[in-house]
Amino acid sequence: MAVPATLWQPGMRITAGRLNAKDYQAGIVNVSFTNLTSYTQPVTFPVPFPVAPIMNAEIAAGAGSTGRFEARPINVSATGFTLFILLTDTAEGPDTWANIPVHWVARMPA
């Protein structure tokens, strides 16, 4: 589990927790849906961030029709986000997914 890094301030003590802290978190969401052109799923961060992080999401499979879709995070907050999957080719019809992995990464703003 990732622990968000603490911004150093004068007088802070060095502790093992602070030395091992990360300023990012990452995860995988397995997405399944039937006959849809868009899909949303809420995701909660394992450890809340102090502020809303900078994020990205990527579909980790290229098989079949997954290449016609894109993934992105929306409604990002310090505690989580909504994964948004959408069909990018409007000429195509709805599709069905079964346990397609979507990777996400969130990091503290600089």
pLDDT in tens, 6-43: 556 677 777 777 666 678 899 999 999 999 999 999 99
pTM here is 0.80
Report angle CA 86, 32, 96 to the nearest 5 degrees: 65
pLDDT in tens, 68-104: 999 999 999 999 999 999 999 878 889 999 999 999 9
- Other beta carbons within 10 angstroms of residue 79's beta carbon come to 12
Domain parsing of the chain, residue ranges: 24-107
Tokens of 105: 């990464």
List Cβ neighbours of 9 (8 Å cut-off, separation of 6 or more): none
Contact 43, 56 (CB under 8 A): no
pLDDT in tens, 46-66: 989 989 999 999 999 887 788
* Fold held by 24-107: Immunoglobulin-like (2.60.40)
